[in-house]
Structure 1
Amino acid sequence: MLVRELLKNFQELANKEVEFTGRIRSNRQGKNVSFLVLNDGSVIDDVQVVYKNETKNFEQLSKQRLGAVVYIQGKLVPTPNRPQPFEIQAKISEIISECAEEYPLQKKEQSLEFLREIPQLRPRTKTFQAVFKIRSLLSFAIHKFFNEKDFVYVNTPIITENDAEGAGEAFVVTTRNDGKYEDDFFGKKANLTVSGQLNAEAYAQSLNSVYTFGPTFRAENSNTSRHAAEFWMIEPEVALNSLKENIDLIEELIKSVLSYVLENGRKELEACQNFFDDKLISRLESAKDSKFKVLDYAEAINILKEAVKKNKNEFEEKNIKFGLDLGSEHEKYLCEKHFGSPVFLINYPKEIKAFYMKLNDDKKTVAAVDLLVPGIGELVGGSQREDNFDKLILRSKELGINFDDLSWYFNLRKFGYYKSSGFGLGFERLVMYVTGATNIRDVISFPRTPNNLLF
């Protein structure tokens, strides 16, 4: 029986014989009575086992270290006046697997930095059990949301010929050492995808509402707490949607997944709140129930200028002007200090945004949107797409993008193109936001970052 089943059915199992297997979290010997705390990973809660001299294999059990796996058979006894609702009075024990003395997870608290060095073991801690269960809940909640809105789930290529962002930070996929890509496996240069958006746009023109949810890769030599070389993205695309409708969809999605996790992952959230952020649950509840602020980029620049005037040490980058590509410090100021809530930032200067974003009537800005949230900064980035073929070609030329490399994408505009909008939601940043974790390495099972490929 799993611990999850014991906890769910303990009232019906009261004073009955039960059996289960778990990993030792603590093993404390007393004069007449000894105590085990076991967890099997099925839930975050532990089970306390009481064992005595008459318990079968008592001597062996009393010597077992943290991390060992043991089988217990005994009576489930209710304990209504204690924190745990019951305990198991063991009659029979068996040692399934002993644990070596050098086991790195001991009762003392380990630092996050240390735990990052043993990603194969850190899910055994209560904190990381909670983080990765929340990650799983969020993944399901996202699929549930789009399924209920009749979106089509599209799997876009992991190996691609284009760099959707135009940033030149893609990993090259090759079978050769000489750089002769014309003789390579695909007959041309190939990359690991940085985004499924361009492919999703093509499918939105056929299926109206689609989304991707898959791995993406950036060969960016960055060691910040928000960047990883391999991460997951959710990228919906909806034909006929305007920027306003895109914003509404983002807000609806975020609030939906927050509601789902608050309802179905309360104990995991409480564990994260105890470890990462003592205001986590109230912050998430507030975001779920509030109306997100919508702010024009130009207004944001004025707010940031005023902040510099009032406190010259507010930012490292103090040269605030129209055209500035806002940094994390500016984004966090807007949503944490100035508004105290999530903020949609819209209508960015075209120079700091991607070629595919729709040019506004002012010819200076594009119909872009970023969602900024407390603790993270940018969580979502999206736009209405440029539907005019000539304008798209002109913009791509300005940025030095070769027509031949993306002719299939550009030509969608020539073959009957609905207007279209979409966004990219960084899944790991969402997990960080919902758990309170401050480093992306703590929400990915086996992080891929510069000089880190140990597992």
Structure 2
Amino acid sequence: MPANINECQQQQPAAEERLERFKYSNRVLLSSILGRADGGLGLVGKRVRVAGWVKSSVEKAMPDVLMPKPAALAEPPAVKDVSCSEILASRLPMFRRIARILMNSAGNAEFVGKMDGAAKPVPSIAYLRINDGSSTANLQIMVNSSVYPLSKILPTGTSIMVEGVIEKLKAQRKHALELKVEKVFYVGIVDTKKYPLLKEMLSMAFLRAFPHFRPRTTTIASIARIRSSLSYSTHQFFQSKGFLHVHMPINTKNSRIHRNMLEVATLSNVSNQEAKELETVKAAIMEKSKRIEELKRSHSNKEALIAALKDLKKTNELAVQLEHQQSSTLTSIKAPDIFPNSLCCHTYQSASSGLHLESYACSLGNVYSFGPTFQTVDVSPSKELAELWKVEVEMAFAEQEDAINCAEDYLRYLCQSVLENCLNDIKFLCKRIDNTCIDRIKSMASGPFVRVSYPEALENFKKFEEKAELGTNLSTEHGSILAEKLYHQPFIVYNYPEDSKPIYFRSIDDTKTVSAFDIITPKIGKLIQGGQKEERLDKLTTRMKKLGLPLEEFDWYLDLRRHGTVKHSGFSFGLEEMVMFVSGVDDLRDTVTFPRDWTSTDT
């Protein structure tokens, strides 16, 4: 018996390496193999089934197989001279087919046999690097021409599902593993004449023309995984802090609070007058039809029946004309005409859910929303998009300082999470796009942000721009200059001039400032905007009247101040800007799946 527990443990066989298949597909994710600490070397000898898309390929002829020497050398056979036609047939496939036809007709079976032997394909091997989107790493697979026709799987972009054994490469290369394929289960071929991603190095501008294919590139795939991680971490943070996730409406009729809101046209309101006329005519048709039925039942006045039928026919023709006219009106409206058109009902796609979110915060305490917002685009689509995703937060019984603390903790949590979950993606983007990515993220994740009042920030900005004056709104560009050249890290500006912020921020007594703040970062500028909301009814209504806003349009919003008002604060956060901050890309269109502006909505 073993003397102690250690000896007993040493006698037990080592636990066998297990490789779990993806639960909802009969395959193993490449990240499960290549994402291991040992790079997958512990799985050598394992049989696995994998799938993915071909990133690159090489075909090589198989090395010659040495034949064993015979025991006794026999007398060599007589060598027969080779004719010129035989040489041409062995080297030119087109000549071989022509010669085969001619020789068959002449009965020369010997020559045909020689040609057939020369036509046999040379055995070869394809080395494919495939990726399934689960990580930046590619797996090299080796496919023998006897297993599958190599011409069908070599093109970049081909999808393939295979099964084989993991082997360790003998030579010291970048890729330590290789899958020796034994079975091919599925192949999705590529039309090499039309597929746009055959080249390896493609510009971001080129890829924007093919948004449905660009996720197959490592760069866009890395950005997508980073965006996914940021979204997941957002829910993790707020749920762990006791916030409730609520869904807010996308459409609204309150257009006066936010600028650049998208106005929506509904078909039922394109032409109210035409619709009313058509309804009147249809009602008349029903009445005339009833009158005709009565005349038919009475069998009394044939002339009246004929006249009624003619009248009904004319009314039906009028209805058809009105329907055609209304249809023409609808189809003639184009995208640039929809939004200012006076025929439309005044409904807008929300640029922010902040107002509605306040109602839930004043009932449930701490809430957040996460969804799409919409705006018109007046500048380059590289800086603004028509459709963006925002995280908006509102907290009851909270002041501006509380909102700042929450926003700062949230950003640090996002940076720590993305460094932990997407480090390989960030390292790849550092090499490909921006070599300062990791340092920038670590700077935000490490410590507290500098906090300065608006007058202090403006005074500091004067060091770079002498024309800046009190009341000048610090733009995104101004903030970026301060973050990069002065503070060298994210910083917070608070207590803005009231004219530079929306009406709902709380007025600071005896000043012309409001309790509003921005978190400004290097590269991006304003990443988070927030503050304390005005809970005093008299202060809010006074400011609304000053700006000429109709109180009746915001009566529901003012009700929150009339009944159980409470101090509350919050902030909004742009997901796309955070993706830019992490990934290092310079164009906002590269942070979303399908960028939306009025020049690109085909997909």
* Alignment check: 8 A CA contact 1:159 1:190 kept: yes
Equivalence for 2:477: 329
SS in 2 for 1:88: strand
Alignment: residue pair count: 440
Deviation at 1:418, TM superposition (A): 1.0
Equivalence for 1:275: 432
Cα deviation, 1:16-58, whole Å, max 9, x if unaligned, reads: 32222221111112233531111122222110012344x4124
Letter in 2 for 1:223: S
CA distance in 2, matches of 1:264, 1:350: 41
Q: When the two structures are superposed, what TM-score results if normalisation uses the length of structure 1?
A: 0.92
Output aligned runs, 1:104-115, within 5 Å. Answer: 104-115=196-207
SS in 2 for 1:171: strand
Letter in 2 for 1:65: P
Equivalence for 1:409: 557
Deviation at 1:100, TM superposition (A): 0.7
Cα deviation, 1:415-439, whole Å, max 9, x if unaligned, reads: 0111000011011111111111111
Equivalence for 2:498: 350
Deviation at 1:162, TM superposition (A): 1.3
- Equivalent pairs: percent with the same residue? 31
Equivalence for 1:313: none
**Pair 1:71-2:181 in alignment:** no
Equivalence for 1:24: 54
Cα deviation, 1:107-155, whole Å, max 9, x if unaligned, reads: 3411111111111000000001000011001000000000000101111
Output aligned runs, 1:27-66, within 5 Å. Answer: 27-32=57-62, 33-53=125-145, 55-61=146-152, 64-66=154-156
SS in 2 for 1:238: strand
CA distance in 1, matches of 2:164, 2:256: 60
Equivalence for 2:450: 293
CA distance in 2, matches of 1:167, 1:74: 59
CA distance in 2, matches of 1:88, 1:71: 12
Cα deviation, 1:320-350, whole Å, max 9, x if unaligned, reads: 1111122222111111111101011111111
SS in 2 for 1:386: coil
SS in 1 for 2:483: helix
Gaps of 5+ in 1: 310-318
The structure whose residues are more often strand, as a share, is 1
Q: Which has the larger radius of gyration?
A: 2
Equivalence for 1:91: 182
**Pair 1:204-2:352 in alignment:** no
Deviation at 1:282, TM superposition (A): 1.6
Output aligned runs, 1:297-376, within 5 Å. Answer: 297-309=454-466, 319-376=467-524
CA distance in 1, matches of 2:149, 2:164: 13
Equivalence for 2:581: 433
SS in 2 for 1:425: strand
Letter in 1 for 2:503: F
**Pair 1:5-2:32 in alignment:** yes
* Alignment check: 8 A CA contact 2:258 2:351 kept: no
Letter in 1 for 2:168: P
SS in 1 for 2:426: helix
In structure 2, relative to structure 1, the CA distance for the partners of 1:264 and 1:59 (3 Å cut) is closer
Letter in 1 for 2:442: E
Equivalence for 1:241: 398
CA distance in 2, matches of 1:3, 1:168: 45
Equivalence for 1:316: none
In structure 2, relative to structure 1, the CA distance for the partners of 1:276 and 1:165 (3 Å cut) is farther
Q: When the two structures are superposed, what TM-score results if normalisation uses the length of structure 2?
A: 0.70
SS in 2 for 1:400: coil
Letter in 2 for 1:377: G
Letter in 2 for 1:22: G
CA distance in 2, matches of 1:265, 1:29: 33
The structure whose residues are more often helix, as a share, is 2
CA distance in 2, matches of 1:163, 1:439: 28
Letter in 2 for 1:331: G
Identify which of 231, 238, 246 aligns with 1:146. Answer: 238
Cα deviation, 1:248-296, whole Å, max 9, x if unaligned, reads: 0000000001111111111111122122210101210111002201111
Bigger shift: residues 324-333 or 129-138: 324-333
Letter in 2 for 1:107: K
In structure 2, relative to structure 1, the CA distance for the partners of 1:407 and 1:168 (3 Å cut) is farther
CA distance in 1, matches of 2:499, 2:380: 26
In structure 2, relative to structure 1, the CA distance for the partners of 1:59 and 1:446 (3 Å cut) is closer
Letter in 2 for 1:291: P
Letter in 1 for 2:159: V
Equivalence for 1:377: 525
Letter in 2 for 1:198: L
CA distance in 2, matches of 1:43, 1:409: 47
Equivalence for 1:264: 421
Deviation at 1:64, TM superposition (A): 2.8
Gaps of 5+ in 2: 1-26, 63-124, 277-343
Letter in 1 for 2:440: R
In structure 2, relative to structure 1, the CA distance for the partners of 1:164 and 1:36 (3 Å cut) is farther
**Pair 1:254-2:411 in alignment:** yes
Root mean square deviation, CA, Å: 2.1
Deviation at 1:188, TM superposition (A): 6.2
CA distance in 2, matches of 1:85, 1:263: 24
Identify which of 143, 165, 169 aligns with 2:261. Answer: 169
